[in-house]
Structure 1
Amino acid sequence: MKRPNIVLVMTDQHRSDTLGCYGNPVIETPNLDWLAQEGTVFTSAYSCTPSCVPARTSLISGMDPWHTGVLGTGRGQGRMGGGFPHTLPGELAAAGYYTLGVGKMNFDPQRALNGFHRTSLDEQGKVESPGFVSDYIAWFEKNKTGDYGMTDHGIDWNSWMSRPFHAPEFLHPVNWTVNESIRLLEKRDPTKPFFLKTSFSRPHSPYDPAPYYFDLYRDKTLPAPYIGDWAAVHDQPKDAQKPDAWRGKRKDEEVNRARAGYYGLIQQIDQQIGRLFMHLKKIGVWEHTVVIFTSDHGDMLGDHYLWRKTHGYEGSAHIPLIVRLPKAMRSAAIAEHVASPVCLQDIMPTILDAASVPIPETVDGRSALPLIRGEQTPWREFVHGEHSLCYSEEQEMQYVTDGQWKYIWFPRLGTEQLFDLRADPGECRDLSREADYAAALASWRERLVRVLEPRDAGLTEGGKLIAQKDRPPLVSPHYKERIDRWKATL
């Protein structure tokens, strides 16, 4: 059988409950909802390190965070770097695919290709390599219609504030990302199957949709933030005053405005994704293309007085994942929904499996193709996630979940939480101190111990979790090994 084309569409900081196909009653996402109807929705998909760089490092390598060596975006952690024995675009390129990457990549150095034949970048204004200018910024400056800059709306890259985009809609990075995807598709090598990664830099803040989309949600009644019976610890007025606060209570109208901007960005992205889908149909490849939609992590959006990412809670760690197989690979047995716990590491082996490309032994993830096909197959009991020290002692965490229960451990506090996600999807009731749930708490704590013990990193001792207060940040030895190996080849 002819190998299928592959399109991986990725958003940035997109929580799973802000799509119609995931049950949101307010947001309008018709193109992604239709993709879900044609494909399979994974209801328990998680980001194992819920911030941009570590999440994308696991996605491109198929490796767990401990093996990539990037455990977060905080203290003691490095950038993505190189030295991967195998990457998703690299394996596809070696198998004869023409590989294209558009939008946000988070590579280091920023012009690294990591297996792509060609990239066109939007890195949200980050300049981490000497002389780097992203393709989006260069295009924006060339095509803008007046004397203004990309960030003249005055909102920071991690702010809770929101307002409409200040420039004409055609200059918005969301629109540019699809325009560039179409442009590169038109210039691809037509003799090869293609892999396209279309990677949006939104709905990550700034929450700045084009005015049309902001206005759609400004006066709507949007879902209010979840506020847990334990959340008062994050009601910190001093922290809340920062324009890029990671926690703290803001006025109801400010939270609603943030959500309006976030929802508006998602609908704008959805409509641009529709344009990409139309182009795939126009060039006659739609029915011979695997299409995957996902995100690197979510956004707390004021839940429990928290903002941004890095947290183990649902808003931050629970991500959308939709997989639609080409016509020749679909059958009546295709699952509409899969509840088995999956993670970003599973995307590389799933794509390689669908393309009949061997999965390297370095890959920790598993192909979800059997789950999509409705086959009875052994699967993991739970997924494990973590994030290193970044914002403060209270934020570093380790979690395990099967999509029905979740256990979170805060190493620097020595505290823990337990949530029944079936009855409490917003994680508002912490069961860890309730006697009726002592057995469940011990069982889930033991699962985390089982994951961490082989590291021999001082996190466990004698079958127990060891608090990390006043200890140096957790660092994986695999990072230095990989980077040293990479630098030796330069």
Structure 2
Amino acid sequence: MFWACICSSTDSIFGVAGHAGCALRKEDGLQVINRLAKCRAFFEMGACRTEAGDHKTVTQKNILFIMYDQLRFDYLSCAGHKTLTTPNFDRVAARGVRFTNAYVQSPVCGASRMSTYTGRYVASHGAGWNKFPIRVGEVTLGDHLRQNGMSCWLLGKTHMQADEEGMARLGIPKDSIIGVRQSECGFDPWVRDDGLHGNGWDGDYGENDGPYNRYLKEKGYDTANPWATYANGSVENGRLASGWFIENADKPANIREEDSETPWLTREAIRFIDQATGPWCAHVSFIKPHWPYIVPAPYHDMYGQDDIQPLIRHEAERENANPVYESFFTNKIAETFRDDEARNKAIIAYMGLIKQCDDQLGVLLDHLEATGRDRDTVIVLTSDHGDYLGDHWLGEKDLFHEVSVKVPLIIADPDPACDATRGTASDALVEQIDLAPTFVEMAGGTPPMHILEGRSLVPLLAGERPADWRQYVISEYDYAVTPMAGRLGMASRDARLFMVYDGRYKMMHSAGGHRPMLFDLESDPDEYHDRGDDPAFRPISTGSTAIFMNGGFACRSG
């Protein structure tokens, strides 16, 4: 059994039993590796392989897997934004392939990330909302890569919630090697910090003693929760102006720019790269540009109202609106983004956060080039979902409009086989679950397609689109815990939405019996006119619904 070679409590990676969650430090991660070097048995899931010859020999290739939180696909200059310049995103795009039709499997942080880290749909892994645990024993990206001789490290955010009940039932100590990996979604933690340390609109997001907060205290930001009071707060008339409130988004964060979250994690990534021996995969997962919408100087006023793009919304969207959609555009966040002053402040700060992300990406790229690691490292840039920013009368994410469910995805592989596609864009329909099989193939392995539900992008990177490439993409959303479900009187099992998009028609199916939403993006690219109740489009919506009813999650080619 896979838990048969769990270390004893005297051989735990921390030396004492402890929580392997958000408080992990670089030193904790190094202890994991030291323990792994002593391990002489296999975990059935392939978690530990140290004997020579346990895996096939492949040309060494590393993967720098960078994820941003809540970054819209169209807020990059390489994607056409007219005023926000992102030269370092563009720099990676010039070296690789920019996928223009990349979709996440759920437009909410936790569920989207769990799909990315498992290579499986939400219906398969079951973690449909933030803080929903991923089942113990679910095979993850780290498990797959270690089977092929590639270590897999975490730096930053995952939104992972451990299945502590399942671990206890199976007798897996949380401070054992496998316990840590079960708690960290299969990654070995270099530094785990999910940010959002404070009470948000839907609850407490984290402990105040995470590694970034510890760093801030060491730097002299001496309050109980410097993440909230300094990194994500400002000062007005001698008092704290919290970044949780959009009215404060135009103020500079009360912190030196070099001590803010994005530069801090960039430095951690450089420290990791400088000591890493390959082949390795480093998941560098930035917390920004996710709200709170507040950024330090000079980024807070780098953009102005003239730089804001036109709203994507139309009065037709609110006429005879689908009840589920209506429940979302009448919530508090959506109402806030209908206030022009508040919306403009948020977008200006959001653009500043993205500009800071781009500048720090440049720091990373320069370091790779200076050390020669750019020649053996694949660079992957993506996001876990988008951000409405007031478009479609909505705020945040959650539903399936392009600005929410479509994400940037740029992959630059130094392999000469990819030379022909450098600087190109691919319009192939791509899902975020494709990254896991892609990374397995890059590590020299064969993706286990009886487990993984995505498809490797390696052929597309080489300029070859398989004849049986997928005809549609799928996304899911479980909103049972939201106020909207209560407002609609939905039972938990019915508060679920599914999207299928074939490159032209996008259909949203509601499990609770409400009529579907349907958009024809060929004639209506801004998704203003819902055809879900139009008899002329009924064959389209019926056919899309049949995909879900007939097990279309796994059978989407041909």
Could you tell me the TM-score, scaled by structure 2's length?
0.73
Higher relative contact order (CA 8 A, sep 6+): 1
The 3 A distance-change label for structure 1 pair 223 and 282 is same
Alpha carbons 2:506, 2:521 under 8 Å: kept: yes
**Using the alignment, how far apart are the partners of 1:100 and 1:11 within structure 2?**
16
CA–CA separation in structure 2 for the residues paired with 1:237 and 1:63: 27
- The alpha carbon displacement at 1:91 in A equals 2.1
Match of 2:93 among 32, 36, 51: 36
Measured after TM superposition, the shift of residue 173 of structure 1 is 0.7
Report the counterpart of residue 98 of structure 1 in structure 2.
151
Structure 1 residue aligned with 2:215: 139
Matching residue of 1:485: none
Q: Which residue, 361, 370, 376 being the options, matches 1:282?
A: 370
Q: Which amino acid aligns with 1:365?
A: G
What is the RMSD of the two structures over their aligned residues, measured on CA atoms? 2.9
CA distance in 2, matches of 1:318, 1:445: 23
Say yes or no: does 1:418 pair with 2:548.
no
Pair 1:150 & 2:238 matched: no
Higher deviation after alignment, 148-157 or 44-53? 148-157
Kindly indicate whether residue 484 of structure 2 is the aligned counterpart of residue 362 of structure 1: no
Identify the residue that residue 218 of structure 1 maps to in structure 2: 304
Instruction: Work out whether residues 346 and 365 of structure 1, in 8 Å CA contact, stay in contact via their aligned partners in 2.
Output: yes
Q: Decide whether aligned partners of structure 1 residues 8 and 249 sit closer, same or farther in structure 2, where only a CA change above 3 A counts.
A: closer
The answer on whether the counterparts of 1:4 and 1:326 sit within 8 Å (CA) in structure 2 is no
Q: For 1:235 and 1:107, locate their aligned partners in 2 and report how far apart those are by CA, in whole Å.
A: 30
1:300 matches 2:382: no
Report the residue type matching 1:165 in the other structure. A
Which residue identity lines up with residue 350 of structure 2 in the other structure?
Y
Residue in 1 that maps onto 2:294: 208
In the TM superposition, what is the alpha-carbon distance from 1:256 to its structure 2 partner? Answer: 1.1
Where does structure 2 lack aligned partners over 5 or more consecutive residues? Answer: 1-57, 163-173, 175-179, 199-203, 234-240, 489-494, 554-558
Q: Which residue number in structure 2 is paired with residue 466 of structure 1?
A: none
- Is contact 2:96–2:421 with CA below 8 Å preserved after alignment? no
Contact 1:47–1:319 (8 Å) recurs in 2:
yes
1:70-128 C-alpha deviation (Å, 9 max, x unpaired) = 2334xxx82335321x2212222332223321110122249623433333022124598
Matching residue of 1:61? 118
Q: Is the 8 A contact 1:399 1:448 kept in 2?
A: no
User: 1:161·1:206 contact (CA, 8 Å) conserved in 2?
Assistant: no
Relative to structure 1, is the Cα distance of residues 274 and 184 closer, same or farther in structure 2, using a 3 angstrom cutoff? same
Q: Give the SS at the match of 2:285.
A: strand
Residue 193 (structure 1) aligned with residue 282 (structure 2): no
Q: Report the secondary structure of 1:332's partner residue.
A: helix
1:66–1:230: structure 2 CA closer, same or farther, 3 Å change rule? same
1:238 and 1:282, CA in 2 relative to 1: closer, same or farther beyond 3 A? closer
Q: How does 1:201-350 map to 2 (within 5 A)?
A: 201-228=287-314, 229-231=316-318, 242=332, 245-247=333-335, 250-332=338-420, 336-350=424-438
2:168 equivalent to 1:115? no
Distance verdict in 2 for CA 1:442–1:334, change over 3 Å: farther
Amino acid of the residue matched to residue 139 of structure 1? Y
Supply the distance in 2 between the matched residues of 1:213 and 1:129 (Cα, whole angstroms).
26
Structure 1 spans left out of the alignment, 5+ residues: 457-490
Structure 1 counterpart of 2:291, which letter?
Answer: S
**Closer/same/farther in 2, CA of residues 92 and 442 from structure 1, 3 Å limit:** same
Alpha-carbon distance between aligned partners in 2 of 1:345 and 1:158, rounded to the nearest angstrom: 34
* Structure 1 residues 120 and 246, CA gap change in structure 2 (3 angstroms): farther
Query: Which amino acid is 1:424 matched to?
Result: D
Q: Which amino acid aligns with 1:371?
A: L
Partner SS for 1:294 = strand
324-333 or 250-259: which moved more?
Answer: 324-333
Q: Secondary structure at the match of 1:381?
A: coil
Which region of structure 1 is more displaced relative to structure 2, 292-301 or 351-360?
Answer: 351-360
Could you tell me the percent identity over the aligned residues?
A: 28
Indicate if the aligned counterparts of 2:150 and 2:280 stay in contact, CA closer than 8 A.
yes
Task: Confirm or deny: 8 A CA contact 1:42 1:322 kept in the other structure.
Answer: yes
Structure 1 residue aligned with 2:140, among 79, 87, 95? 87
- Asked if the contact 1:335–1:372 (Cα under 8 Å) also holds between the matched residues in 2, the reply is no
Residue 303 of structure 2 aligns to a residue whose secondary structure is helix
Letter in 2 for 1:53: G
Per-residue CA deviation, residues 116-156 of structure 1 (Å, 9 max, x unaligned), is: 33330221245989978321121122213565822122546
1:39 to partner: Cα distance: 0.8
In the aligned structure 2, how far is the partner of 1:224 from the partner of 1:317? 20
Q: Which moved more, 1:335-344 or 1:246-255?
A: 246-255
Change (3 A) 1:155 1:411: farther
Question: Structure 2 vs 1, CA of residues 434 and 455 (structure 1 numbering), >3 Å: closer, same or farther?
Answer: closer
In structure 2, the CA distance between the partners of 1:52 and 1:161, relative to structure 1 (3 Å rule), is: farther
Aligned-partner Cα distance in 2 for 1:124–1:425 = 35
Q: CA deviation at 1:10?
A: 0.2
1:398-428, CA deviations, whole angstroms, 9 ceiling, x for partnerless residues?
Answer: 2111333211233436122222223433212
Which amino acid in the other structure matches residue 22 of structure 1? A
Change (3 A) 1:254 1:131: closer
What residue in structure 2 maps to residue 402 of structure 1?
A: 502
The alpha carbon displacement at 1:157 in A equals 5.8
CA distance in 1, matches of 2:530, 2:330: 24
- 1:67/1:167 CA distance change after superposition, 3 Å: same
Preserved contact between residue 507 and residue 544 of structure 2 (Cα < 8 Å): no
One of 42, 48, 55 as aligned partner of 2:105: 48
**Could you say if the C-alpha distance between residues 272 and 238 of structure 1 is closer, same or farther in structure 2, counting changes exceeding 3 Å?**
closer
Letter paired with 2:112: A
C-alpha separation in 1, matches of 2:513 and 2:335: 17
Q: What's 2:177 paired with? A: none
Q: Which amino acid aligns with 1:98?
A: S
Task: Using structure 1 for the length normalisation, give the TM-score.
Answer: 0.83
Q: How far apart are the structure 2 equivalents of 1:237 and 1:96?
A: 46
The 1:408/1:161 distance shift into structure 2, 3 A limit, reads farther
2:262 maps to 1:174: yes
